[in-house]
């Protein structure tokens, strides 16, 4: 009976110690990456680049949760799509493995 109790206790310990967060931490440490939350706070779409590489278009009021980049320093550039003189914003982020940061751009819209 004592052996069964100890076996169940060990299984419970293993189950509760292997959480999703622990798995994500192991992954980001192994891959040496950090996460950036990106939020377009404008009512207009934006083009965006990371370290000079075109990534696509953000629709208005769009949000990306946990965009993965390698640890170190990265430059994010955003340019409004439909404007005679487009709003542009540049953000530089620096992160170590498993850290989180956030970017909110497009807040300077005069129509808000």
pLDDT in tens, 6-56: 555 544 444 555 554 555 567 899 999 999 999 998 888 999 999 999 999
> Would residue 16 count as lying in a domain?
no
| Domain, as residue range, for 45 | 28-105
Per-residue pLDDT, 8: 54
Per-residue pLDDT, 47: 95
CATH number of the domain where residue 48 is located:
2.60.40
The closest alpha carbon to 58, from 44, 68, 77, belongs to 44
* Count of the separate structural domains present in the chain: 1
Average pLDDT on 79-86 reads: 88
> Would residue 110 count as lying in a domain?
no
What pTM value is reported for the model? 0.73
> Would residue 71 count as lying in a domain?
yes
| DSSP bridge pairs for 58 | 46
Q: For the chain, how many helices (H) and strands (E)?
A: 2, 7
Q: Report d(CA 29, CA 55) in Å as an integer.
A: 25
> Would residue 22 count as lying in a domain?
no
Dump strand ranges (E) for 5-52: 33-40, 46-50
> Would residue 9 count as lying in a domain?
no
> Would residue 21 count as lying in a domain?
no
Q: Report d(CA 47, CA 106) in Å as an integer.
A: 11
């Amino acid at each position: 009976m004592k052996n069964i109790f100890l076996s169940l206790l060990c299984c419970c310990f293993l189950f509760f110690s292997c959480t999703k967060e622990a798995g994500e931490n192991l992954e980001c440490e192994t891959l040496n990456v950090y996460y950036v939350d990106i939020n377009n706070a404008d009512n207009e779409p934006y083009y965006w680049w990371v370290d000079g590489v075109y990534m696509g278009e953000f629709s208005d009021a769009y949000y990306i949760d946990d965009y993965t980049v390698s640890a170190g320093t990265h430059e994010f550039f955003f340019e409004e799509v439909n404007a005679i003189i487009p709003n542009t914003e540049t953000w530089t982020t620096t992160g170590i493995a498993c850290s989180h940061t956030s970017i909110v751009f497009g807040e300077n819209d005069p129509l808000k």
